[in-house]
Structure 1
Amino acid sequence: MTAWGILATGKIARKFATALHETPGARLTAVGSRTPGKARHFADTFGTGDCTAHSSYEALVRDPSVDVIYVASPHSLHLPHAKLAFEAGKHVLCEKPLTLNVADAVEMVRLAAEHDRFLMEGMWTLCHPLVIELKRRLDSGAYGVPRQVHADLGWRVDAPPTDRMLNPALGGGALLDMGIYPLTFAQLVLGRPEQLTAVADLAPTGVDLDVSIAGRHVGGGTSALSASMTAWTSRTATIATTTGWFDVAADFHHPSRVVWRPHVGEPVPVVAADPVIGDGYGNEAAEVMRCIDSGLRESPLVPHAFTLDVMAQMDALRRQIKVVYPSEH
Protein backbone atom coordinates (compact mmCIF):
# COMPACT_ATOMS: atom_id res chain seq x y z
CA MET A 1 0.00 0.00 0.00
CA THR A 2 1.40 3.40 -1.05
CA ALA A 3 0.68 6.29 1.32
CA TRP A 4 -0.07 9.58 -0.43
CA GLY A 5 0.14 13.12 0.88
CA ILE A 6 -1.56 15.93 -1.01
CA LEU A 7 -0.03 19.40 -0.91
CA ALA A 8 -2.75 22.09 -1.34
CA THR A 9 -6.52 21.64 -1.36
CA GLY A 10 -7.82 23.21 -4.58
CA LYS A 11 -10.01 21.79 -7.32
CA ILE A 12 -7.38 19.55 -8.88
CA ALA A 13 -6.40 18.19 -5.45
CA ARG A 14 -10.02 17.25 -4.79
CA LYS A 15 -10.27 15.40 -8.10
CA PHE A 16 -7.05 13.52 -7.46
CA ALA A 17 -8.07 12.60 -3.91
CA THR A 18 -11.36 11.20 -5.21
CA ALA A 19 -9.51 9.09 -7.78
CA LEU A 20 -7.17 7.67 -5.13
CA HIS A 21 -10.15 5.91 -3.54
CA GLU A 22 -10.60 3.97 -6.79
CA THR A 23 -6.89 3.19 -7.26
CA PRO A 24 -5.76 -0.23 -6.03
CA GLY A 25 -2.86 0.00 -3.59
CA ALA A 26 -3.30 3.72 -2.90
CA ARG A 27 -4.21 5.35 0.41
CA LEU A 28 -4.64 9.04 1.17
CA THR A 29 -2.69 9.42 4.41
CA ALA A 30 -2.25 13.18 4.84
CA VAL A 31 -3.04 16.59 3.40
CA GLY A 32 -1.38 19.95 3.95
CA SER A 33 -2.68 23.50 3.71
CA ARG A 34 -1.57 26.84 5.06
CA THR A 35 -5.15 27.22 6.33
CA PRO A 36 -5.78 24.64 9.07
CA GLY A 37 -9.54 24.66 8.52
CA LYS A 38 -9.13 23.80 4.83
CA ALA A 39 -6.78 20.93 5.62
CA ARG A 40 -9.20 19.53 8.21
CA HIS A 41 -12.19 19.82 5.87
CA PHE A 42 -10.25 18.16 3.04
CA ALA A 43 -9.13 15.30 5.29
CA ASP A 44 -12.66 14.76 6.61
CA THR A 45 -14.15 14.88 3.11
CA PHE A 46 -11.64 12.82 1.16
CA GLY A 47 -9.87 10.76 3.81
CA THR A 48 -11.02 7.44 5.21
CA GLY A 49 -10.96 8.32 8.88
CA ASP A 50 -7.18 8.22 9.42
CA CYS A 51 -6.10 11.06 7.11
CA THR A 52 -3.93 13.58 8.96
CA ALA A 53 -4.61 17.29 8.39
CA HIS A 54 -1.40 19.35 8.52
CA SER A 55 -1.52 23.13 8.91
CA SER A 56 1.67 23.68 6.91
CA TYR A 57 3.37 22.16 3.89
CA GLU A 58 6.52 21.67 5.95
CA ALA A 59 4.63 19.48 8.42
CA LEU A 60 3.07 17.50 5.58
CA VAL A 61 6.36 16.58 3.92
CA ARG A 62 7.88 15.64 7.29
CA ASP A 63 5.04 13.20 8.02
CA PRO A 64 6.80 9.81 8.33
CA SER A 65 3.68 7.93 7.20
CA VAL A 66 3.75 9.54 3.73
CA ASP A 67 5.59 7.91 0.80
CA VAL A 68 4.82 10.27 -2.07
CA ILE A 69 3.61 13.87 -2.29
CA TYR A 70 1.19 15.09 -4.93
CA VAL A 71 2.01 18.78 -5.48
CA ALA A 72 -1.27 20.50 -6.39
CA SER A 73 -0.39 24.13 -5.71
CA PRO A 74 -0.37 26.90 -8.39
CA HIS A 75 2.24 26.58 -11.15
CA SER A 76 4.56 29.27 -9.78
CA LEU A 77 4.90 27.39 -6.48
CA HIS A 78 5.63 23.92 -7.86
CA LEU A 79 9.42 24.19 -7.66
CA PRO A 80 9.70 25.33 -4.02
CA HIS A 81 7.05 22.84 -2.93
CA ALA A 82 8.70 19.93 -4.75
CA LYS A 83 12.02 20.99 -3.21
CA LEU A 84 10.45 20.75 0.25
CA ALA A 85 9.28 17.23 -0.52
CA PHE A 86 12.60 16.04 -1.93
CA GLU A 87 14.54 17.44 1.03
CA ALA A 88 12.20 15.48 3.32
CA GLY A 89 12.93 12.30 1.40
CA LYS A 90 9.59 12.08 -0.39
CA HIS A 91 8.83 11.07 -3.98
CA VAL A 92 6.87 13.64 -6.02
CA LEU A 93 4.04 13.68 -8.51
CA CYS A 94 3.81 17.32 -9.58
CA GLU A 95 0.70 18.64 -11.30
CA LYS A 96 1.26 19.97 -14.81
CA PRO A 97 2.91 22.12 -15.93
CA LEU A 98 5.92 20.98 -13.98
CA THR A 99 7.02 24.61 -13.47
CA LEU A 100 6.62 28.04 -15.08
CA ASN A 101 9.55 27.58 -17.46
CA VAL A 102 12.13 25.08 -18.59
CA ALA A 103 14.92 26.48 -16.40
CA ASP A 104 12.87 25.79 -13.28
CA ALA A 105 11.87 22.36 -14.66
CA VAL A 106 15.53 21.44 -15.19
CA GLU A 107 16.20 22.46 -11.59
CA MET A 108 13.36 20.27 -10.31
CA VAL A 109 14.70 17.28 -12.23
CA ARG A 110 18.17 18.00 -10.82
CA LEU A 111 16.82 18.13 -7.27
CA ALA A 112 15.04 14.80 -7.74
CA ALA A 113 18.30 13.21 -8.86
CA GLU A 114 20.29 14.85 -6.05
CA HIS A 115 17.94 13.38 -3.46
CA ASP A 116 17.47 10.09 -5.36
CA ARG A 117 13.69 10.51 -5.47
CA PHE A 118 11.06 9.69 -8.09
CA LEU A 119 9.59 12.63 -10.03
CA MET A 120 6.83 12.70 -12.62
CA GLU A 121 4.79 15.50 -14.11
CA GLY A 122 1.07 14.93 -13.59
CA MET A 123 0.36 14.51 -17.30
CA TRP A 124 -2.58 12.12 -17.04
CA THR A 125 -2.99 12.02 -20.84
CA LEU A 126 0.21 9.99 -21.24
CA CYS A 127 -1.00 7.47 -18.62
CA HIS A 128 -4.50 7.10 -20.06
CA PRO A 129 -5.22 3.54 -21.28
CA LEU A 130 -6.87 4.67 -24.53
CA VAL A 131 -4.01 7.02 -25.36
CA ILE A 132 -1.48 4.27 -24.60
CA GLU A 133 -3.35 1.89 -26.92
CA LEU A 134 -3.61 4.58 -29.60
CA LYS A 135 0.15 5.13 -29.44
CA ARG A 136 0.77 1.36 -29.62
CA ARG A 137 -1.31 1.11 -32.78
CA LEU A 138 0.41 4.06 -34.41
CA ASP A 139 3.82 2.59 -33.61
CA SER A 140 2.80 -0.76 -35.12
CA GLY A 141 2.71 0.75 -38.62
CA ALA A 142 -0.58 -1.00 -39.38
CA TYR A 143 -2.46 2.31 -39.60
CA GLY A 144 -0.22 4.18 -42.01
CA VAL A 145 2.19 7.01 -41.27
CA PRO A 146 0.80 9.86 -39.13
CA ARG A 147 1.10 13.13 -41.02
CA GLN A 148 -1.22 15.65 -39.36
CA VAL A 149 -2.53 16.29 -35.86
CA HIS A 150 -5.36 18.66 -35.00
CA ALA A 151 -6.00 19.12 -31.28
CA ASP A 152 -8.08 21.70 -29.46
CA LEU A 153 -8.87 22.39 -25.82
CA GLY A 154 -10.92 25.28 -24.49
CA TRP A 155 -13.69 26.44 -22.22
CA ARG A 156 -14.89 29.77 -20.89
CA VAL A 157 -13.17 30.97 -17.77
CA ASP A 158 -15.56 33.47 -16.20
CA ALA A 159 -13.47 34.70 -13.31
CA PRO A 160 -12.12 37.96 -11.83
CA PRO A 161 -8.63 39.16 -12.79
CA THR A 162 -7.33 37.93 -9.45
CA ASP A 163 -8.23 34.32 -10.27
CA ARG A 164 -5.29 31.94 -10.71
CA MET A 165 -6.11 31.40 -14.38
CA LEU A 166 -5.78 35.13 -15.12
CA ASN A 167 -3.01 35.97 -12.67
CA PRO A 168 0.47 36.20 -14.26
CA ALA A 169 2.14 35.87 -10.84
CA LEU A 170 0.61 32.38 -10.57
CA GLY A 171 1.39 31.35 -14.15
CA GLY A 172 -2.08 31.99 -15.56
CA GLY A 173 -3.05 31.76 -19.20
CA ALA A 174 -4.45 29.33 -21.73
CA LEU A 175 -1.08 27.98 -22.88
CA LEU A 176 0.17 26.52 -19.60
CA ASP A 177 -3.22 25.30 -18.39
CA MET A 178 -4.77 24.07 -21.66
CA GLY A 179 -2.29 24.38 -24.51
CA ILE A 180 0.10 21.99 -22.81
CA TYR A 181 -2.28 19.15 -23.74
CA PRO A 182 -2.37 19.72 -27.52
CA LEU A 183 1.42 20.21 -27.47
CA THR A 184 1.90 16.97 -25.54
CA PHE A 185 -0.45 15.08 -27.84
CA ALA A 186 1.25 16.35 -31.00
CA GLN A 187 4.71 15.44 -29.71
CA LEU A 188 3.50 11.98 -28.68
CA VAL A 189 2.15 11.30 -32.18
CA LEU A 190 4.52 13.20 -34.49
CA GLY A 191 7.68 13.56 -32.44
CA ARG A 192 9.43 16.75 -31.40
CA PRO A 193 8.53 19.87 -33.35
CA GLU A 194 11.18 21.50 -35.50
CA GLN A 195 9.18 24.72 -35.72
CA LEU A 196 6.27 26.21 -33.78
CA THR A 197 4.52 29.46 -34.64
CA ALA A 198 1.87 31.02 -32.41
CA VAL A 199 -0.63 33.87 -32.38
CA ALA A 200 -2.59 34.88 -29.30
CA ASP A 201 -5.04 37.31 -27.77
CA LEU A 202 -3.96 38.61 -24.37
CA ALA A 203 -5.96 39.64 -21.31
CA PRO A 204 -5.47 43.04 -19.64
CA THR A 205 -3.49 41.17 -16.96
CA GLY A 206 -0.98 40.10 -19.64
CA VAL A 207 -1.77 36.39 -19.83
CA ASP A 208 -2.92 34.66 -23.00
CA LEU A 209 -6.67 34.12 -23.37
CA ASP A 210 -6.59 32.36 -26.73
CA VAL A 211 -3.65 30.83 -28.56
CA SER A 212 -3.33 29.04 -31.90
CA ILE A 213 -0.18 27.13 -32.85
CA ALA A 214 1.10 25.75 -36.13
CA GLY A 215 3.84 23.13 -35.93
CA ARG A 216 6.20 21.22 -38.20
CA HIS A 217 7.61 18.04 -36.67
CA VAL A 218 10.54 15.73 -37.28
CA GLY A 219 9.85 13.72 -40.40
CA GLY A 220 7.65 16.43 -41.92
CA GLY A 221 4.38 15.96 -40.03
CA THR A 222 2.41 19.10 -39.20
CA SER A 223 0.10 20.08 -36.35
CA ALA A 224 -2.65 22.65 -35.79
CA LEU A 225 -3.22 23.22 -32.08
CA SER A 226 -5.37 25.63 -30.10
CA ALA A 227 -6.39 26.56 -26.57
CA SER A 228 -9.01 28.99 -25.33
CA MET A 229 -10.17 30.55 -22.07
CA THR A 230 -12.95 32.55 -23.79
CA ALA A 231 -14.93 29.96 -25.77
CA TRP A 232 -16.46 26.50 -25.48
CA THR A 233 -14.53 24.53 -28.06
CA SER A 234 -14.85 20.99 -29.38
CA ARG A 235 -11.99 19.68 -27.20
CA THR A 236 -11.38 16.91 -29.74
CA ALA A 237 -8.36 15.67 -31.68
CA THR A 238 -7.74 13.93 -35.00
CA ILE A 239 -4.69 12.12 -36.31
CA ALA A 240 -4.53 11.89 -40.10
CA THR A 241 -2.36 9.12 -41.52
CA THR A 242 -1.53 7.90 -45.01
CA THR A 243 -4.39 5.35 -44.83
CA GLY A 244 -7.10 7.04 -42.73
CA TRP A 245 -7.58 8.93 -39.51
CA PHE A 246 -8.19 8.50 -35.79
CA ASP A 247 -11.04 10.45 -34.19
CA VAL A 248 -10.31 11.18 -30.53
CA ALA A 249 -13.50 12.22 -28.76
CA ALA A 250 -13.90 15.02 -26.24
CA ASP A 251 -12.21 15.46 -23.95
CA PHE A 252 -9.26 14.30 -26.04
CA HIS A 253 -6.77 14.69 -23.19
CA HIS A 254 -8.65 11.96 -21.28
CA PRO A 255 -10.83 10.50 -24.04
CA SER A 256 -13.91 8.36 -23.62
CA ARG A 257 -13.70 7.07 -27.19
CA VAL A 258 -11.19 6.69 -30.02
CA VAL A 259 -12.24 5.45 -33.47
CA TRP A 260 -10.08 4.44 -36.43
CA ARG A 261 -11.66 5.53 -39.73
CA PRO A 262 -9.83 3.95 -42.68
CA HIS A 263 -10.03 5.65 -46.07
CA VAL A 264 -11.32 2.32 -47.36
CA GLY A 265 -13.37 0.20 -44.96
CA GLU A 266 -15.54 0.48 -41.87
CA PRO A 267 -14.78 2.43 -38.68
CA VAL A 268 -13.14 0.43 -35.91
CA PRO A 269 -13.30 1.45 -32.21
CA VAL A 270 -10.00 1.44 -30.33
CA VAL A 271 -10.29 -0.67 -27.18
CA ALA A 272 -7.86 -0.24 -24.30
CA ALA A 273 -6.29 -3.21 -22.54
CA ASP A 274 -6.70 -1.66 -19.08
CA PRO A 275 -9.61 0.14 -17.40
CA VAL A 276 -9.75 3.88 -16.84
CA ILE A 277 -9.46 4.63 -13.11
CA GLY A 278 -11.04 7.76 -11.69
CA ASP A 279 -11.39 9.59 -15.02
CA GLY A 280 -7.71 8.83 -15.60
CA TYR A 281 -6.20 10.42 -12.50
CA GLY A 282 -6.08 6.96 -10.96
CA ASN A 283 -4.03 5.63 -13.87
CA GLU A 284 -1.56 8.46 -13.25
CA ALA A 285 -1.31 7.49 -9.56
CA ALA A 286 -0.99 3.82 -10.48
CA GLU A 287 1.93 4.60 -12.82
CA VAL A 288 3.71 6.50 -10.03
CA MET A 289 3.26 3.57 -7.64
CA ARG A 290 4.37 1.03 -10.26
CA CYS A 291 7.55 3.00 -10.89
CA ILE A 292 8.35 3.49 -7.20
CA ASP A 293 7.75 -0.21 -6.48
CA SER A 294 10.15 -1.03 -9.35
CA GLY A 295 12.85 1.31 -8.02
CA LEU A 296 12.53 3.72 -10.96
CA ARG A 297 13.21 7.43 -10.62
CA GLU A 298 11.22 8.48 -13.71
CA SER A 299 8.34 7.01 -15.66
CA PRO A 300 8.80 5.53 -19.14
CA LEU A 301 5.33 6.87 -19.96
CA VAL A 302 6.15 10.43 -18.83
CA PRO A 303 9.95 10.65 -19.04
CA HIS A 304 11.74 13.77 -17.85
CA ALA A 305 13.09 14.49 -21.34
CA PHE A 306 9.57 14.60 -22.78
CA THR A 307 8.39 16.95 -20.03
CA LEU A 308 11.38 19.25 -20.54
CA ASP A 309 10.80 19.29 -24.31
CA VAL A 310 7.24 20.53 -23.89
CA MET A 311 8.30 23.08 -21.26
CA ALA A 312 10.90 24.46 -23.69
CA GLN A 313 8.23 24.66 -26.40
CA MET A 314 5.96 26.70 -24.13
CA ASP A 315 8.85 29.03 -23.26
CA ALA A 316 9.46 29.65 -26.97
CA LEU A 317 5.76 30.17 -27.67
CA ARG A 318 5.42 32.63 -24.79
CA ARG A 319 8.29 34.64 -26.23
CA GLN A 320 6.44 34.80 -29.55
CA ILE A 321 3.16 35.97 -28.00
CA LYS A 322 4.97 38.23 -25.50
CA VAL A 323 3.75 36.65 -22.26
CA VAL A 324 6.27 37.12 -19.45
CA TYR A 325 5.66 36.22 -15.82
CA PRO A 326 6.76 38.60 -13.02
CA SER A 327 9.36 36.17 -11.68
CA GLU A 328 11.05 36.13 -15.11
CA HIS A 329 11.71 39.91 -15.33
Structure 2
Amino acid sequence: MTLPALSPRALRTRWSLLRLARHGVESAELVARADGVVHGRGMTASVVEVMGLRFGSPLLLAAGFDRHGVLLENASRLGLGAVETGSLRTSSACPSPRVRVAAARRHVAAGGGRMGVCLHGLSLLVPRLEGRGDTRRGGCALERLQALFAACHATADYVVLNPGRSGATPAQCVELLAALAEVRDRLARPIRLALVAKLPAPWLAAAGGVRWAHQLIDAGADGLLLSAEGDSMPAALRIARVAAEVGERTALISVGGIGSVREAAARLAAGADLVQVHRALIAAPRRALSLSLGIAGLGVRRGRWQGACTGSCAQG
Protein backbone atom coordinates (compact mmCIF):
# COMPACT_ATOMS: atom_id res chain seq x y z
CA MET A 1 0.00 0.00 0.00
CA THR A 2 1.35 3.42 -0.97
CA LEU A 3 1.08 6.04 1.72
CA PRO A 4 -0.17 9.49 0.65
CA ALA A 5 2.52 12.13 0.25
CA LEU A 6 2.63 14.76 2.96
CA SER A 7 2.04 18.38 2.01
CA PRO A 8 4.80 20.94 2.66
CA ARG A 9 2.83 22.28 5.63
CA ALA A 10 2.36 18.79 7.07
CA LEU A 11 6.09 18.16 6.74
CA ARG A 12 6.91 21.44 8.50
CA THR A 13 4.43 20.60 11.24
CA ARG A 14 5.96 17.16 11.78
CA TRP A 15 9.47 18.61 11.86
CA SER A 16 8.44 21.29 14.36
CA LEU A 17 6.68 18.70 16.52
CA LEU A 18 9.77 16.50 16.67
CA ARG A 19 12.03 19.45 17.53
CA LEU A 20 9.68 20.63 20.31
CA ALA A 21 9.48 17.10 21.65
CA ARG A 22 13.27 17.04 21.79
CA HIS A 23 13.34 20.35 23.67
CA GLY A 24 10.88 18.90 26.17
CA VAL A 25 13.07 15.86 26.76
CA GLU A 26 16.17 18.01 27.15
CA SER A 27 14.36 20.19 29.71
CA ALA A 28 13.30 17.10 31.63
CA GLU A 29 16.91 15.90 31.72
CA LEU A 30 18.01 19.30 33.07
CA VAL A 31 15.41 19.06 35.84
CA ALA A 32 16.55 15.57 36.77
CA ARG A 33 20.15 16.79 37.11
CA ALA A 34 19.14 19.88 39.10
CA ASP A 35 16.92 18.20 41.69
CA GLY A 36 13.72 19.55 40.27
CA VAL A 37 14.87 23.10 39.50
CA VAL A 38 15.11 24.36 35.93
CA HIS A 39 17.91 26.89 35.62
CA GLY A 40 18.17 29.52 32.93
CA ARG A 41 14.53 29.43 31.77
CA GLY A 42 13.29 32.44 33.72
CA MET A 43 9.69 31.30 33.25
CA THR A 44 7.00 30.74 35.85
CA ALA A 45 3.76 29.45 34.38
CA SER A 46 0.45 30.93 35.49
CA VAL A 47 -2.08 28.35 36.65
CA VAL A 48 -5.63 28.75 35.30
CA GLU A 49 -8.61 27.00 36.88
CA VAL A 50 -11.69 26.79 34.66
CA MET A 51 -14.26 24.13 33.70
CA GLY A 52 -13.45 22.26 36.90
CA LEU A 53 -9.90 21.69 35.60
CA ARG A 54 -6.51 23.05 36.56
CA PHE A 55 -4.38 24.12 33.59
CA GLY A 56 -0.67 24.55 34.23
CA SER A 57 -0.59 27.62 31.97
CA PRO A 58 -3.02 29.68 29.85
CA LEU A 59 -1.53 28.22 26.66
CA LEU A 60 -3.14 25.26 24.90
CA LEU A 61 -1.85 23.43 21.84
CA ALA A 62 -4.65 23.32 19.25
CA ALA A 63 -5.73 20.07 17.61
CA GLY A 64 -3.92 19.01 14.46
CA PHE A 65 -0.37 19.84 15.55
CA ASP A 66 0.23 16.90 17.89
CA ARG A 67 -2.43 14.39 16.85
CA HIS A 68 -1.17 11.52 19.01
CA GLY A 69 -0.03 13.30 22.16
CA VAL A 70 3.72 13.16 21.62
CA LEU A 71 4.22 16.31 23.72
CA LEU A 72 1.99 15.28 26.61
CA GLU A 73 4.72 13.92 28.84
CA ASN A 74 6.74 17.14 28.87
CA ALA A 75 3.97 19.61 28.06
CA SER A 76 4.53 21.88 31.04
CA ARG A 77 8.24 22.17 30.26
CA LEU A 78 7.23 23.57 26.89
CA GLY A 79 4.85 26.06 28.48
CA LEU A 80 1.73 24.11 27.48
CA GLY A 81 -1.22 23.86 29.83
CA ALA A 82 -2.88 21.31 27.54
CA VAL A 83 -2.23 19.30 24.41
CA GLU A 84 -5.33 18.76 22.28
CA THR A 85 -5.04 15.54 20.31
CA GLY A 86 -7.07 14.65 17.21
CA SER A 87 -8.98 15.71 15.26
CA LEU A 88 -11.07 12.55 15.12
CA ARG A 89 -13.81 11.64 12.68
CA THR A 90 -16.73 9.39 13.49
CA SER A 91 -15.43 6.92 10.89
CA SER A 92 -11.94 6.70 12.41
CA ALA A 93 -10.70 4.53 15.20
CA CYS A 94 -10.11 6.37 18.46
CA PRO A 95 -6.32 6.78 18.70
CA SER A 96 -6.42 7.75 22.36
CA PRO A 97 -2.79 7.97 23.46
CA ARG A 98 -3.38 5.89 26.61
CA VAL A 99 0.26 4.98 27.11
CA ARG A 100 1.46 8.55 26.66
CA VAL A 101 -1.26 9.93 28.90
CA ALA A 102 -0.46 7.40 31.62
CA ALA A 103 3.19 8.43 31.44
CA ALA A 104 2.22 12.10 31.63
CA ARG A 105 0.04 11.43 34.69
CA ARG A 106 2.94 9.69 36.44
CA HIS A 107 5.18 12.67 35.73
CA VAL A 108 2.56 15.03 37.12
CA ALA A 109 2.28 12.98 40.30
CA ALA A 110 6.06 12.74 40.68
CA GLY A 111 6.66 16.42 40.01
CA GLY A 112 3.91 17.75 42.26
CA GLY A 113 3.23 21.45 41.86
CA ARG A 114 6.33 21.92 39.73
CA MET A 115 4.74 20.35 36.66
CA GLY A 116 1.17 21.33 37.36
CA VAL A 117 -1.39 19.36 35.36
CA CYS A 118 -0.97 18.37 31.70
CA LEU A 119 -4.38 18.26 30.08
CA HIS A 120 -5.53 17.17 26.68
CA GLY A 121 -8.74 16.92 24.75
CA LEU A 122 -10.06 15.22 21.63
CA SER A 123 -11.65 17.24 18.86
CA LEU A 124 -14.72 15.63 17.33
CA LEU A 125 -15.47 16.62 13.77
CA VAL A 126 -19.20 16.96 13.21
CA PRO A 127 -20.20 14.56 10.42
CA ARG A 128 -21.97 15.71 7.28
CA LEU A 129 -25.64 15.21 7.99
CA GLU A 130 -28.29 14.24 5.49
CA GLY A 131 -31.07 16.13 7.19
CA ARG A 132 -30.22 19.78 7.75
CA GLY A 133 -33.14 20.39 10.07
CA ASP A 134 -32.71 17.40 12.39
CA THR A 135 -29.40 15.78 13.35
CA ARG A 136 -31.15 12.45 13.88
CA ARG A 137 -31.82 12.19 10.15
CA GLY A 138 -28.15 11.66 9.53
CA GLY A 139 -28.60 7.90 9.82
CA CYS A 140 -26.49 6.59 12.69
CA ALA A 141 -24.13 9.59 12.62
CA LEU A 142 -25.27 10.83 16.02
CA GLU A 143 -24.95 7.36 17.52
CA ARG A 144 -21.42 7.04 16.11
CA LEU A 145 -20.51 10.44 17.51
CA GLN A 146 -21.82 9.50 20.95
CA ALA A 147 -19.97 6.17 20.84
CA LEU A 148 -16.72 7.91 19.89
CA PHE A 149 -17.26 10.42 22.66
CA ALA A 150 -17.76 7.65 25.23
CA ALA A 151 -14.64 5.83 23.99
CA CYS A 152 -12.50 8.96 24.30
CA HIS A 153 -13.46 9.90 27.81
CA ALA A 154 -11.01 7.51 29.48
CA THR A 155 -8.03 9.64 28.46
CA ALA A 156 -9.59 13.06 27.84
CA ASP A 157 -9.98 15.87 30.36
CA TYR A 158 -12.10 17.87 27.97
CA VAL A 159 -13.65 17.25 24.56
CA VAL A 160 -14.09 19.84 21.80
CA LEU A 161 -17.07 19.72 19.46
CA ASN A 162 -15.67 21.27 16.28
CA PRO A 163 -17.95 21.83 13.26
CA GLY A 164 -14.92 22.14 10.98
CA ARG A 165 -15.90 22.06 7.31
CA SER A 166 -18.82 19.70 7.88
CA GLY A 167 -21.46 22.18 6.80
CA ALA A 168 -23.29 21.70 10.10
CA THR A 169 -25.45 24.63 11.18
CA PRO A 170 -25.27 26.29 14.61
CA ALA A 171 -28.64 24.74 15.50
CA GLN A 172 -27.35 21.26 14.65
CA CYS A 173 -24.28 21.79 16.80
CA VAL A 174 -26.47 22.84 19.71
CA GLU A 175 -28.46 19.60 19.33
CA LEU A 176 -25.31 17.50 18.99
CA LEU A 177 -23.74 19.09 22.05
CA ALA A 178 -26.89 18.45 24.09
CA ALA A 179 -26.75 14.78 23.04
CA LEU A 180 -23.10 14.55 24.09
CA ALA A 181 -23.90 16.23 27.40
CA GLU A 182 -26.42 13.50 28.11
CA VAL A 183 -23.74 10.86 27.54
CA ARG A 184 -21.22 12.84 29.60
CA ASP A 185 -23.55 13.05 32.57
CA ARG A 186 -23.82 9.25 32.66
CA LEU A 187 -20.06 8.62 32.60
CA ALA A 188 -18.45 7.21 35.73
CA ARG A 189 -15.51 9.58 36.26
CA PRO A 190 -13.79 11.01 39.35
CA ILE A 191 -13.75 14.42 37.62
CA ARG A 192 -16.57 15.59 35.37
CA LEU A 193 -15.58 15.58 31.70
CA ALA A 194 -15.63 19.13 30.35
CA LEU A 195 -17.34 19.94 27.06
CA VAL A 196 -16.10 22.73 24.79
CA ALA A 197 -17.92 23.98 21.70
CA LYS A 198 -16.07 25.74 18.89
CA LEU A 199 -17.74 28.83 17.46
CA PRO A 200 -16.43 29.75 13.99
CA ALA A 201 -16.03 33.47 13.33
CA PRO A 202 -18.88 33.62 10.75
CA TRP A 203 -21.37 32.39 13.34
CA LEU A 204 -20.36 35.09 15.79
CA ALA A 205 -20.19 37.77 13.11
CA ALA A 206 -23.75 37.12 11.95
CA ALA A 207 -26.54 39.31 13.32
CA GLY A 208 -27.48 37.99 16.74
CA GLY A 209 -24.68 35.44 16.55
CA VAL A 210 -23.96 35.58 20.27
CA ARG A 211 -27.27 33.79 20.87
CA TRP A 212 -25.57 30.59 19.71
CA ALA A 213 -23.09 31.00 22.53
CA HIS A 214 -25.97 31.13 25.00
CA GLN A 215 -27.68 28.13 23.45
CA LEU A 216 -24.51 26.04 23.51
CA ILE A 217 -24.00 26.91 27.16
CA ASP A 218 -27.59 25.98 27.96
CA ALA A 219 -27.07 22.68 26.08
CA GLY A 220 -24.16 21.77 28.36
CA ALA A 221 -21.00 23.51 27.14
CA ASP A 222 -18.48 24.31 29.87
CA GLY A 223 -16.31 26.31 27.50
CA LEU A 224 -16.47 28.15 24.18
CA LEU A 225 -13.63 28.05 21.66
CA LEU A 226 -13.83 31.37 19.80
CA SER A 227 -12.17 31.26 16.40
CA ALA A 228 -10.70 34.49 15.03
CA GLU A 229 -9.99 33.06 11.59
CA GLY A 230 -11.82 35.06 8.94
CA ASP A 231 -13.28 37.55 11.40
CA SER A 232 -13.26 41.20 10.29
CA MET A 233 -13.53 42.35 13.90
CA PRO A 234 -10.33 42.48 16.00
CA ALA A 235 -10.12 39.31 18.10
CA ALA A 236 -9.77 41.17 21.40
CA LEU A 237 -12.92 43.18 20.73
CA ARG A 238 -14.88 40.06 19.78
CA ILE A 239 -13.75 38.30 22.96
CA ALA A 240 -14.69 41.29 25.11
CA ARG A 241 -18.21 41.33 23.64
CA VAL A 242 -18.75 37.61 24.18
CA ALA A 243 -17.30 37.79 27.70
CA ALA A 244 -19.70 40.60 28.57
CA GLU A 245 -22.61 38.45 27.33
CA VAL A 246 -21.81 35.11 28.94
CA GLY A 247 -20.24 36.31 32.17
CA GLU A 248 -17.89 34.15 34.19
CA ARG A 249 -19.85 30.91 34.20
CA THR A 250 -18.27 29.70 30.95
CA ALA A 251 -14.59 29.42 30.01
CA LEU A 252 -13.54 31.32 26.90
CA ILE A 253 -10.71 30.03 24.72
CA SER A 254 -9.33 32.08 21.83
CA VAL A 255 -7.75 30.52 18.74
CA GLY A 256 -6.54 31.82 15.39
CA GLY A 257 -3.84 34.34 14.50
CA ILE A 258 -1.87 34.24 17.76
CA GLY A 259 1.72 34.70 16.66
CA SER A 260 3.20 36.70 19.51
CA VAL A 261 3.14 37.01 23.29
CA ARG A 262 1.72 40.51 22.80
CA GLU A 263 -1.30 39.19 20.87
CA ALA A 264 -1.91 36.47 23.44
CA ALA A 265 -1.75 39.05 26.21
CA ALA A 266 -4.28 41.25 24.42
CA ARG A 267 -6.77 38.39 24.15
CA LEU A 268 -6.34 37.39 27.78
CA ALA A 269 -6.81 41.00 28.79
CA ALA A 270 -9.97 41.19 26.70
CA GLY A 271 -11.59 38.27 28.49
CA ALA A 272 -10.17 34.94 27.29
CA ASP A 273 -9.27 32.43 29.98
CA LEU A 274 -7.04 30.40 27.68
CA VAL A 275 -5.45 30.78 24.24
CA GLN A 276 -4.61 28.16 21.62
CA VAL A 277 -1.75 28.17 19.14
CA HIS A 278 -0.92 25.97 16.17
CA ARG A 279 0.59 27.62 13.09
CA ALA A 280 2.81 29.91 15.17
CA LEU A 281 4.73 26.86 16.38
CA ILE A 282 5.55 25.79 12.82
CA ALA A 283 8.69 27.87 12.94
CA ALA A 284 12.30 27.72 14.03
CA PRO A 285 12.36 25.65 17.23
CA ARG A 286 13.92 28.37 19.35
CA ARG A 287 11.32 30.93 18.27
CA ALA A 288 8.49 28.46 18.87
CA LEU A 289 9.82 27.61 22.32
CA SER A 290 10.29 31.28 23.20
CA LEU A 291 6.70 31.99 22.17
CA SER A 292 5.20 29.12 24.15
CA LEU A 293 7.18 29.89 27.30
CA GLY A 294 6.40 33.61 27.00
CA ILE A 295 2.66 33.03 26.76
CA ALA A 296 2.78 30.51 29.60
CA GLY A 297 4.23 33.18 31.88
CA LEU A 298 1.34 35.60 31.38
CA GLY A 299 -0.69 36.17 34.54
CA VAL A 300 -4.35 35.75 33.73
CA ARG A 301 -7.81 35.99 35.14
CA ARG A 302 -10.56 36.73 32.67
CA GLY A 303 -11.78 40.32 32.77
CA ARG A 304 -9.34 40.97 35.61
CA TRP A 305 -6.14 40.14 33.82
CA GLN A 306 -3.05 40.31 36.01
CA GLY A 307 -0.10 41.33 33.91
CA ALA A 308 1.98 44.15 32.56
CA CYS A 309 0.00 44.55 29.35
CA THR A 310 -1.58 47.99 29.22
CA GLY A 311 -2.28 50.71 26.70
CA SER A 312 -1.29 49.75 23.18
CA CYS A 313 -0.69 46.13 24.20
CA ALA A 314 -4.30 45.77 25.28
CA GLN A 315 -5.32 47.01 21.88
CA GLY A 316 -3.31 44.27 20.19
TM range (shorter): 0.3 to 0.5
The structure whose residues are more often strand, as a share, is 1
TM-score using structure 2 length? 0.32
Q: TM-score, normalised by structure 1?
A: 0.31
